[in-house]
């Protein structure tokens, strides 16, 4: 039996995304989901001040390497996000 391999989640997700992008026609590629990070300071609301993080930089690197863009931010460069509290 082989010992378990410990891999950093960030490293694993980067490897998987790079592989996915490398075998995909990225001219029609949409990657969506809760990335649990903000790419730009305009996207941050409340709490601690925005700053670059390892996760954010990794995602930006992947986007640049695969020639991907944040289409919402590209088409709405100055609109701040809104949040509606669901609690009464």
Whether 37 is in a domain gets the answer: no
Residue 36 pLDDT: 79
Q: Which residue's entry shows tokens 């995909």?
A: 24
Distance separating alpha carbons of residues 83 and 31, to the nearest angstrom? 22
Q: What's the predicted TM-score (pTM) here?
A: 0.63
Whether 21 is in a domain gets the answer: no
Q: How many domains does the chain have?
A: 1
Distance separating alpha carbons of residues 70 and 56, to the nearest angstrom? 13
Residue 34 pLDDT: 76
pLDDT digits (tens, 9 = 90+) for 13-64: 777 777 777 777 767 777 777 777 888 888 888 888 889 888 888 888 878 8
Whether 45 is in a domain gets the answer: no
Whether 6 is in a domain gets the answer: no
Whether 66 is in a domain gets the answer: yes
Domain that holds residue 67: 51-75
Whether 83 is in a domain gets the answer: no
Whether 61 is in a domain gets the answer: yes
């Amino acid at each position: 039996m082989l010992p378990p391999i410990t891999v950093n989640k960030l490293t694993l997700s980067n490897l998987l995304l790079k592989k996915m992008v490398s075998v995909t026609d990225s001219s029609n590629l949409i990657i969506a989901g809760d990335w649990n990070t903000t790419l730009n300071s305009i996207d941050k609301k409340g709490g601690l001040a925005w700053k670059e993080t390892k996760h954010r930089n990794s995602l930006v690197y992947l986007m640049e390497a695969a020639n991907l863009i944040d289409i919402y931010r590209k088409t709405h460069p100055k609109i701040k996000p809104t949040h509606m509290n669901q609690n009464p």
